[in-house]
Amino acid sequence: MTEQSFDAFEADLRRAFAGIEDPADDGFAAAVSRRVARRERGAELGVWARAAAFTVAGAAGATAAFALAQNAGPMLMAQFGMTFVNVQSALAAGDWSTGAASMVMTQALLALGLGAGGVAAYRAVAD
């Protein structure tokens, strides 16, 4: 078969493709609209469910934190107080030792880690 007849066939093929009629609607658009509406309702329910889950989780966390604070609070406060006093006295004495620095750093890193962990956990749940 010559190159010319190849081209002619491909031109015929294009015309044949163009000649295929598009299917009539026959309820297709309505079916898609129904599925879209169903999906949107599902997504809306999901948002409410997530909000409810966060509320419950927040309440549970607050209750647990309160219980923990009641039991361990005084001890923790005393420990923080001790740390503060130690650091302050070290600073006042002009003795900015490695010990005092590491104590402050430990507390700061701990707080930072807790914060970062909280944010990461929140994002993971939100996603």
Partner 1 sequence: MARGFVDLATASEAALILAAQARDQGAFGELVKRRQGWARALLRRMCASHAEADDLAQEAFLRAWERLRDLETPAAFAGWFRRIAVTTFLMAKRKAKGIHETLDDSMPLADDRSGPDAAAGARIDLERALTLLSDGERLCVTLNHAEGLSHAEIVDITGLPLGTVKSHINRGTDKLRRYLSPGAHAA
Footprint of partner 1 (CB under 8 A): 1, 9-10, 13-14, 16-25, 28-33, 35-37, 39-40
Nearer to partner 1, 42 or 94 (CB): 42
Nearest distance, CB of residue 50 and partner 1, angstroms: 18
Per the CB < 8 A criterion, the answer to whether 113 and 121 are in contact is no
Cα separation values, 110 from 4, 8, 69, 103, 104, Å: 78, 76, 18, 11, 10
Nearest distance, CB of residue 34 and partner 1, angstroms: 10
Nearer to partner 1, 20 or 47 (CB): 20
Radius of gyration over alpha carbons of the chain, in Å? Answer: 34
Nearer to partner 1, 27 or 94 (CB): 27
HSE on the CB side for 36, CA within 13 Å?
Answer: 6
Residue with tokens 């909280």: 118
Nearest distance, CB of residue 44 and partner 1, angstroms: 11
Nearer to partner 1, 14 or 59 (CB): 14
Nearest distance, CB of residue 15 and partner 1, angstroms: 9
Tokens of 92: 């006042």
